Amino acid sequence: MVFGKLFKVWVLCVIVSVIGGSVNAKSPKKTQQKNKEIRLSTVDIKGKRIEISNRENKVLALLFFKPSVTKHKALLAYAQIVYNRYKDKGLVIFGITEKKENIGENLESTITFPLIADSSKKIFQNFNIRDCCGGTVIINRNGKIKFNTSSLVNPETLRQLIELEVLGKIFYDFPAPKGQTLFVKDKKAPNVELKEVYSKWVRNFSSFRDKNLIVTFLSSVCSVCRTGSRVKNLIKLREILRKRKKEAKVILVFFKPFDEKDIAEWESHIEMPFDKYISAGIFTDEEIYITDESHKTDPLTIVINNTGKVVFAESRRMSETQLFEEITKSIE
C-alpha cells in the first residue's frame, strides 16, 4: 500500500513539522491525495541529518524521556533491544527529550535509534506530553496514532504495543538465536567480561577459580530484581549451603544500563552482600536473556563449576523453591 492511502495524513504532517522537517504539500487537503510524498528532515543530538520519505509500511514509536530519571533510562535501554529485533521489520523509534546537555554519554553510546532534543517543546505540546513524566506514542503503518499517553509505559507494555503493530501479534518470549543458547548444561561458560562495580577492574568468568560459582544476572527492568526478592533468597541459599558444608561463591552481574549510582540506590533499600559486577556489552536480546529452554528469564541464575562448565541454568518455568532446590543439587 502506498503510504498516504487510507489514513489521516494531517496527523503525521504535524509530527513532521514540529520535529523540524517539512511536508511536501501546500495545504492539508492536498496532503490527503494518493501518492503524496511525506518527508521528514531533522537533526539528532549527534548532528546527524535524518531523512525519511514515504514512510510506507513503517511503525513509529516516539518515546519522551527525562535522562535524570532512572526508569526512563532503563526504558530506553529496553527499547533498544526491541529496536534491534524489529528495525528490519519496519520499526522506527525516536527518543525525544528537552535538552541535549542532559542526555549523558551513557545513553549516547548505547542507544542507536535517533535521540532528539526538543528545546522548544513543540513536539511535547503537540502530543500533550508533560516533560516530567515522559510519554509514549505509537503510530501504525497507516499513520494512525494507536497509543498516546503522557507517561513512559513499562517495558513489557512497550514491547507488546510495538509487536502488535509490527507483527500483528505478541511474542511473550524472545526465541534463542538459531535454536542455541548461551548457558547450556555441561557447556563451557562464555568468557564474559565483568567490570567490578566500585572499581575499573575487569575480570572474566575464566578468571574465577572457585569450586562452584553461583552467578545471578539482574536488570533494571526486572520487577523481581527491584523488589530484592531474588537477592534475599540468594542470601538464604548461601546460609543453607554453608550449613551443608558445600562450597560456593555468589556474585551478582548487572546488565547495562546499570551503573554504580543505580546499584548504590538499590543497596540503600536491599541488602546485597555479594561481589557485584556490571557486564560489558552483554545486554542484548540474543544473549543473556536466553536459558536452556529458549525462554528469556530475568533474573537469571546459573552455576559454573571450577572447570568453567555450566552445571545449572535457570528455566523460566521454575518457581523460586524449585530454582534453589536445583541449584543445591548441582553443587558438589
**Amino acid in the structure at residue 255:** F
Least confident window among 108-117, 164-173, 251-260, 286-295: 286-295
Report CA-CA distances (Å) from 120 to 61, 86, 116, 148, 150: 20, 31, 12, 20, 18
Residue 131 is predicted with a pLDDT of: 72
- pLDDT tens digits, one per residue of 218-236: 876 676 777 888 999 999 9
Per-residue confidence band for 13, with pLDDT thresholds at 50, 70 and 90: very low
Percent over 70 (pLDDT), the chain: 73
Residue 170 has pLDDT above 90, yes or no: no
Residue 237 has pLDDT above 50, yes or no: yes
Residue 110 is predicted with a pLDDT of: 81
- Taking the C-alpha atoms of residue 6 and residue 1, their distance in angstroms, rounded to an integer, is 9
**Which of 45, 44, 97, 91 is closest to 73 using CA atoms?**
97
**What's the CA angle centered on 133, arms 127 and 138, to 5 degrees?**
40
Long-range contacts of 88-91 (CB under 8 A, 24+ apart): 89/166, 89/167, 90/57, 90/58, 90/59, 90/141, 90/166, 91/58, 91/59, 91/61, 91/162, 91/166
Where is pLDDT greater, at 25 or 104?
104
Residue 4 has pLDDT above 50, yes or no: no
Report CA-CA distances (Å) from 129 to 9, 123, 134, 152: 21, 8, 7, 10
**What's the CA angle centered on 102, arms 53 and 99, to 5 degrees?**
50
pTM: 0.58
The three grid cell numbers given for residue 151, joined into one nine-digit string: 507517561
Report the SS3 class of residue 305: strand
Residue 106 is predicted with a pLDDT of: 67
Residue 309 has pLDDT above 80, yes or no: yes
Domains and CATH numbers, the chain: 9-166 (3.40.30.10), 177-330 (3.40.30.10)
- Winning range, highest mean pLDDT, from 4-13, 126-135, 193-202, 257-266: 193-202
**Amino acid in the structure at residue 322:** Q
Percent over 90 (pLDDT), the chain: 23
Residue 297 has pLDDT above 90, yes or no: no
Per-residue confidence band for 243, with pLDDT thresholds at 50, 70 and 90: very high
Least confident window among 8-12, 20-24, 274-278: 20-24
Residue 36 is predicted with a pLDDT of: 39
Residue 173 has pLDDT above 60, yes or no: no
| pLDDT mean across residues, the chain | 76
Phi, psi of 73 (to 5 degrees): -65, -40
Element (H, E) at 251: strand 249-254
The CB density around residue 252, as the number of other CB atoms within 10 Å, is 24
Phi, psi of 115 (to 5 degrees): -110, 130
- pLDDT tens digits, one per residue of 49-80: 766 544 567 898 999 998 888 888 888 988 98
Report, as an integer, the average pLDDT of 22-37: 34
Residue 256 is predicted with a pLDDT of: 67
